[in-house]
Chain A
Amino acid sequence: MSEEEKKSLWQNIRETVYGMAAHDMSRAALRTRASMEHLFILITMGDLLGIPILPPYYSLRLLPYVVPQIATWKRRMLREKDAADAMFG
């Protein structure tokens, strides 16, 4: 078995183990991370939704970094909630 084949076999084993053991965990972690991101934008940029947030002077410094997330964040914050959210959200 060549060095390359060995490497690819090892890679496959690694990915399979990851898929079986850790994929769900990282998905859950990423999901929590995404919820926190929205919470973070809310407590720093709440003014964008009309929720007054304390020091806009400092929020402005963070604004450039959250520009791409603002649209999804607003959609999520302003979306109608129903029972299904609690079950599957």
Chain B
Amino acid sequence: MGFKDVFLQHPERRYIMFGGGGGVGKTTFSAAAGYWLAAHGKKVLVFSVDPQASLTDIFKKDIFGKGPVPIMQNLWAQEIDADKHIKAYQQEIRQKILDMYGLPAVPEEIENYIQAASAEPAMEERAMFDAVVDVVMKGDYDYYIYDLVPLGHALYYLSMAKVYDEWINKVTKLREEMREYEEMVSRLQHKESEQDQILKELLYIKGRINTSAGILTDKTKTAFFFVLIPEAGVINDTQKAAKLFASFDVPLSGYVVNRVIPHELLGQNIPDYLRHRIAMQDQHLGKLHASFGDQVLARAPEMERDVTGLPMIEKLAGIMFA
């Protein structure tokens, strides 16, 4: 099975993810897959959940924090500005406090808490995930292509999603118990019990957390590809990561190899240096096929120049989806 077949045989897999170590070509492949799908009439959004996103570079267009930016017909790209999202969120909370209690200003202690909370490192990551849930839930596109963060970081996200899930379940359970007491008192006093706004919010949060984690592990709608290059270290890391990802139920669709030096060069007058590199890559590719077999779906060559701008993206897409 080739890379193209995954898309042709499973049109229901609308969430396409590229994961891998730093600098292996996740963004490049996200852009190329987005290009190919858009060229075949699908409405596609390529977006980045990496605070150091590079979609701006690859599409040669300033898209950071600007919402979905049109790249070509059927193709949009988006880089989420987590800071902007956090600021708007804080303001929303402040406004809610002012409105609920008719206060002229947010009490100092509360304001300090709002400020301190946003300094937490987890804040940015959660804001990013929350923004992604917004994007995905709108459902404006046929395909969503996630340009993911590097491996270690992605694993941290996955494990934290489980921790958050447990946290929210415990908190919600406590709140539900509190609700039972409240209802008991209301019954004894023959009063109507009021709706618990906090419980309502908790259920909303739970829904958001489950949506963001759910997409990552949905076997019918998600295709996750590992991007790697034929080098010993990268292959080892990917093998380890694949096991860990599998333990988080991420539906792995296959591997794509990037930066393979073209064999045609061997017929030309090339220096020993390059011959050795080709021999080394051959050896690693052999190992790769031995361990992953037909899960290796595509090989992209080392290109003659940077893959930036649509003509180069088109060229790479043509090779990947051959």
- With contacts A60-B89, A64-B96 taken as known, whether A26 is within 8 angstroms of B164 at the C-beta atoms is no
A18 located at the interface, meaning its Cβ lies under 8 Å from any Cβ of chain B in the complex:
yes
* Residues in A neighbouring B170, C-beta threshold 8 A: 43
User: Please, what's the 1-or-0 string for A34-73, where 1 marks a CB less than 8 Å from any CB in chain B?
Assistant: 0011011001110110000011111111111111101000
Chain A residue nearest to B209 in the complex (CB): A58
* Residues in B neighbouring A36, C-beta threshold 8 A: 174, 177-178, 181
* Residues in A neighbouring B266, C-beta threshold 8 A: none
Q: What range describes how many residues of A lie at the interface?
A: 20 to 34
Pairwise interchain contact A18-B113, C-beta atoms closer than 8 A: no
Report Cα–Cα, A58/B205, bound state, in Å.
7
Tell me the minimal C-beta distance from A10 to chain B in angstroms. Answer: 12
Pairwise interchain contact B126-A57, C-beta atoms closer than 8 A: yes
Report Cα–Cα, A64/B114, bound state, in Å.
11
Pairwise interchain contact B171-A30, C-beta atoms closer than 8 A: no
Chain A residue nearest to B114 in the complex (CB): A60
Contact of A65 among B122, B127, B198 (CB under 8 A): B198
* Residues in A neighbouring B97, C-beta threshold 8 A: 63-64, 67
Pairwise interchain contact A57-B130, C-beta atoms closer than 8 A: yes
* Residues in A neighbouring B209, C-beta threshold 8 A: 58
A33 located at the interface, meaning its Cβ lies under 8 Å from any Cβ of chain B in the complex:
yes
Pairwise interchain contact B188-A26, C-beta atoms closer than 8 A: yes
A25 located at the interface, meaning its Cβ lies under 8 Å from any Cβ of chain B in the complex:
yes
B197 located at the interface, meaning its Cβ lies under 8 Å from any Cβ of chain A in the complex:
yes
User: Please, what's the 1-or-0 string for A12-29, where 1 marks a CB less than 8 Å from any CB in chain B?
Assistant: 001000100010011001
Pairwise interchain contact A40-B175, C-beta atoms closer than 8 A: yes
Pairwise interchain contact A55-B122, C-beta atoms closer than 8 A: yes
A2 located at the interface, meaning its Cβ lies under 8 Å from any Cβ of chain B in the complex:
no
Chain B residue nearest to A56 in the complex (CB): B117
Tell me the minimal C-beta distance from B169 to chain A in angstroms. Answer: 12
Beyond A57-B120, A63-B93: 11 further Cβ-contacts under 8 Å? A26-B188, A32-B181, A40-B198, A55-B164, A56-B116, A56-B120, A56-B122, A60-B90, A62-B198, A65-B201, A67-B110
